[in-house]
Structure 1
Amino acid sequence: MEASDESSDSINATTESKKSLLHRLRIKKDNEKEKSSEPEELETLRLKREVGFIGGVSLIVSSMIGSGIFVSPKGVFRFMGSVGSGLLTWLACGVLATFGALSYAEVGTMIPKSGGEYPILLEAFGPIPAYLFAWTSTTILKPSALAILGLTFSKYALSPMFPDCETPEMAMKLVAAVVVGVVVFINCYSVKLSTRFLTVFSVGKIISLLIIIIGGIVMLANGHTKHLENSFEGETPGVREIALAFYQGLWAYDGWNQLNYIIEELKNPYVNLPRAIVTAMILVTGLYLMTNVAYMTAMSRIQLLNSPAVGTVFGVKVLGVMSWIIPLAVTWSVFGTCLGSCFAAGRISYTASREGHFNQVLSMIHIKRLTPAPAVLLNGLLAIIMIIPNDFDTLVDYFSFCMWMFHGGTCAALIYFRITQPNRKRPVKVPIIIPIIVCIAAVCLVFAPIIDEPKIHYLFAVLYVLFGLVFYIPFVHFKKKSQTIRKINILLQKLLQVSTED
């Protein structure tokens, strides 16, 4: 009995000893975890992966659905000459944008770096094409896009205040500048806050288009189909007209490549990148087609072309006293697009600066907010400067002409990688015919307008792209240093409270 008691006491003591040891190890492990996590929060300075699947879809939808569907229908139907060919152009633009997005998904998962086309062109063709893309995008493409969005916001926001006359140009420019300033502040303040705003505004965008679509369905149910009958009657467009119609339509679809600009901030990019792209493209293409059909139930092609604001005119004809909903929905939609455009644009100069292609300040992030504040601020400043000309059509043509040179180059990089690196890991792989189609379309979109009707601004666009070499050769290739620039960088670093990544 005593032996049994001693044995029992020994077992209990051993058990208690194990429990005590496990308890001490658990406490030690927790303490080590706390110690290791604290320095990571305090010392690690880098962009965080805070964009999930919903945030990714919201970014694409917010970037795509904006001013284009409310402004571009006029351009598409003007150049195509008939309702039927115009609707086919909208569908074709959606298919082409989807092909481009799928091609970008393959190279984006192969080279999971932020900056959109920049890291892809850098690895495929070297520093000069990559630099020229970053130069053109940072100084013209992205700021002009944000400027167009700001002007469109002000046009719709102010139109109810001036129902019987043109909106004063100065008022439009002032409101557009304020909008740009607000979206720059939000994007500098917090990535998480930006993605939340994008999600909220994406829902608003979809609702605004659904209002138009439901109105169109009601009109069709009431027999308003005359503007859709004999829909292919009209002038036959030429090569130049088709290319310009695609420019206008693709402007409405612009934003399909936005996730490639923030891959380093995307959670599980190998899964979320392709899923978000496919989901967003199907959703937006369907909404665009139904919205254009709805427009044609309320007005003829000629009436649409003469409308100063297509969405507003549709609201007056269909919604009556509730027509104020349309300008409100449009301004909501365009503001969300401004957020998405600004969110992605800053990542180009930020990534290029990390490679030593741009001023070092642009590669710095805010020490508390962890946002690429200097790059975002530069995009906003240039956009405000571009608001001054206030010429929508010229900006769209210029933007599209340059943009498709680099879209074609990026899809050519995909084909190049297939030939030179056939065994490279590809989490996403598309049929080779898809990037080939995008490359052919890009060549047509770049050269067809020039051949059919040469204009000086196309030459100016090419010269401006090449003008970037004036800065590349001395400061990047020969690595020339300037003490004055260094002092300015130090001043900006202190003023903006930014530093380089750890």
Structure 2
Amino acid sequence: MLCVSRMHQENKMEEPKANERKKSRNGSAKLDGDSTLMEKNPAKATILQKEVGLLSAVCLIVGTMIGSGIFISPKAVLLHSGAVGPCLLIWAACGVLAILGALCYAELGTMIPKSGGEYSYLMEAFGSPVAYLYSWTTVMVSKPSAFAIITLSFAEYASAPFYPECRPPIVVTKCLGAAAVVLIVGINCFSVKLASYVQNIFTAAKLVIIVIIVGAGIVLLAQGNTENLSKAFDSQSVSVGAIGLAFYNGLWAYDGWSQLNFITEELKNPFRNLPLAIVIGIPLVSVCYVMVNISYFTVMTSNELLSSPAVAVTFGDKVLYPMAWIVPLFVVFSTFGSANGSCFTAGRLAYVSGRNGHMVKILSFISLRRLTPAPALMFNGFLAMLYIIPADINTLINYFSFSQWFFYGLTMLSLIVMRFTRKELKRPVKIPIIIAFIMVLISCYLVLSPIIDNPEIEYLYSSLFILSGLLLYYPFVHLKVKWAHNLMRPITMHLQLLMEVVPPDKSE
């Protein structure tokens, strides 16, 4: 009897522990041991916290837009525009277009204050299938491949000083790029604040080198080095297609103006800070780009600029010697900061699409200890590592870049559509509708321009890949087949236990 009674008491004592273990296996419950953690910080719900202020928002825009392009190779705009004068005008016009596009996104972001950027707006305007195709293309290809190419640029310039007589070996570049991916993903998984601090520091470093280049250019202009600018418009006529390609390359350098909309839910006072950060950040980048190009032309002719493998490095060799090493050092800082911004926003898109059932459920989970979308960030980093392996992913970027402007155009169209279909939504920022119409027309032109100018079968393959998302959407998202759910459930459970992540609170 004594043994039976003791066993009965032990079973009762085990019941709470068993219940805790059962809860840990439930997708909507916390993990074992989380109660202690929540007691330490009971005020914070398991949602992404609003920790991005105005300064960090501006730095995210500026830091993501200013990558390696303006320092390494602005020659594509000059090549297609034909002369210095049209080249500078196109850089300025690209800045204006970026501002107009960002104003459209300011209205969308304050009208629909959800993270995920274009995904959330396409979902509201056109429904689930269109939003899914965007997330399928962007999460699986566009974002991770862009992350990979930026980290490879970082690796090439970071390793260059150790190989002064030749280019760094490919193995070294790829390993260093992979290490950068791991480091950046680790920073973003550890803390939103830490990722913001990193972004702020490296954005400041970018602005320092831009000030150095622009300042040197102003001194050279004051000394009378205006020969290349005095005949700025002496050139042969260029075709409409060539001008379009010049704009295409210029706008590629400006890409990143929409990044802030991916983290709307984490912005402090988004109705004020979202439009204000856009108004501050994008004009700042536009002025920097034009002034930097003017500085380049004070010391380089058009032919010298076109033949330079890295324009800013050539400028440094001509003007800043013996301090020319500053330029490649700051290019390293610039690419690292740009990669950090890319990772920061890409994780939010995978997180939001997972939350809406368009990606596997685990991507929508949040780290209980760090309150970051760790699974989504790790998934983006994992894909970036895969894209680092091939010999050349620039081709992949080129063939999918037209899809980015296709979705930009759809997003601008969604603004027009919701003016008529969602009149009840509050619009703290309301732009003239003509701006959205202009951006839709420009997006159509930029989508068709590279295809018409240089039609290749790879564009068809890219389009087929985008549409192939529907083959996954219909059974797994629309029909929600049970066997897929049953297959993913134990995988989700084990990943949840491994990473200590939980679903976001319903309040989000």
Using structure 2 for the length normalisation, give the TM-score. 0.88
Q: Distance in 1 between matches of 2:223 and 2:161?
A: 28
- Note the C-alpha offset of 1:395: 4.1
SS in 2 for 1:281: helix
SS in 2 for 1:417: helix
Q: Distance in 2 between matches of 1:157 and 1:452?
A: 36
- Note the C-alpha offset of 1:192: 0.9
- Give CA-to-partner distance per residue, 1:282-315, whole Å, 9 cap, x none: 1110011000111111211221121121111111
Q: Distance in 2 between matches of 1:176 and 1:224?
A: 39
The answer to whether the 8 Å contact 2:73/2:309 transfers is: no
Stretch of structure 1 that moved more, 158-167 or 471-480: 158-167
The answer to whether the 8 Å contact 1:346/1:376 transfers is: yes
Indicate yes or no: 2:504 matched with 1:501: yes
- Note the C-alpha offset of 1:72: 4.0
Q: Distance in 2 between matches of 1:184 and 1:191?
A: 11
SS in 2 for 1:468: helix
Indicate yes or no: 2:221 matched with 1:240: no
SS in 2 for 1:341: helix
Q: Distance in 2 between matches of 1:85 and 1:122?
A: 39
The answer to whether the 8 Å contact 2:364/2:503 transfers is: yes
Residue in 2 aligned with 1:206?
Answer: 207
The answer to whether the 8 Å contact 2:66/2:254 transfers is: yes
Distance 1:285 1:121, change over 3 A: same
- Give CA-to-partner distance per residue, 1:61-98, whole Å, 9 cap, x none: 11111112123402211222221121111111111111
Where do residues 309-458 of structure 1 align in structure 2 (5 Å cutoff)?
309-391=310-392, 393-422=394-423, 424-458=425-459
Residue in 1 aligned with 2:493?
Answer: 490
Residue in 2 aligned with 1:478?
Answer: 479
The answer to whether the 8 Å contact 2:145/2:393 transfers is: no
Q: Distance in 2 between matches of 1:160 and 1:301?
A: 28
Amino acid of the residue matched to residue 372 of structure 2? T
Residue in 1 aligned with 2:70?
Answer: 69
Q: Distance in 2 between matches of 1:448 and 1:126?
A: 28
SS in 1 for 2:309: coil
Indicate yes or no: 2:141 matched with 1:140: yes
- Note the C-alpha offset of 1:196: 1.3
Residue in 2 aligned with 1:33?
Answer: none
Using structure 1 for the length normalisation, give the TM-score. 0.89
Q: Distance in 2 between matches of 1:480 and 1:422?
A: 36
- Note the C-alpha offset of 1:396: 4.2
Indicate yes or no: 2:50 matched with 1:49: yes
Q: Distance in 2 between matches of 1:471 and 1:277?
A: 36
- Note the C-alpha offset of 1:168: 2.2
Q: Distance in 1 between matches of 2:413 and 2:117?
A: 15
- Note the C-alpha offset of 1:208: 1.2
The answer to whether the 8 Å contact 1:116/1:258 transfers is: yes
The answer to whether the 8 Å contact 1:138/1:379 transfers is: yes
SS in 2 for 1:410: helix
SS in 1 for 2:322: helix
- Note the C-alpha offset of 1:468: 1.0
Percent of residue pairs identical: 51
The answer to whether the 8 Å contact 1:217/1:294 transfers is: yes
The answer to whether the 8 Å contact 1:93/1:250 transfers is: yes
Q: Distance in 1 between matches of 2:216 and 2:393?
A: 28
Q: Distance in 2 between matches of 1:160 and 1:236?
A: 42
Amino acid of the residue matched to residue 218 of structure 2? I
- Note the C-alpha offset of 1:169: 2.2
The answer to whether the 8 Å contact 1:240/1:453 transfers is: no
Residue in 2 aligned with 1:259?
Answer: 260
- Note the C-alpha offset of 1:423: 5.0
Q: Distance in 2 between matches of 1:226 and 1:116?
A: 45
Residue in 2 aligned with 1:461?
Answer: 462
Q: Distance in 1 between matches of 2:347 and 2:391?
A: 23
- Give CA-to-partner distance per residue, 1:331-366, whole Å, 9 cap, x none: 111111111110000111110111111100000011
Distance 1:162 1:233, change over 3 A: farther
The answer to whether the 8 Å contact 1:104/1:257 transfers is: yes
The unaligned stretches of length 5 or more in structure 2 are: 1-37
Where do residues 99-110 of structure 1 align in structure 2 (5 Å cutoff)?
99-110=100-111
- Note the C-alpha offset of 1:455: 1.2
Amino acid of the residue matched to residue 42 of structure 2? E
How many equivalent pairs are there? Answer: 466
Q: Distance in 1 between matches of 2:212 and 2:44?
A: 49
Output the aligned Cα RMSD.
1.7
Stretch of structure 1 that moved more, 81-90 or 114-123: 81-90
- Note the C-alpha offset of 1:456: 1.5
Residue in 2 aligned with 1:94?
Answer: 95
The unaligned stretches of length 5 or more in structure 1 are: 1-36
Q: Distance in 2 between matches of 1:100 and 1:263?
A: 17
- Give CA-to-partner distance per residue, 1:442-492, whole Å, 9 cap, x none: 000001222233112211221111111121111001101323322221121
- Note the C-alpha offset of 1:174: 1.7
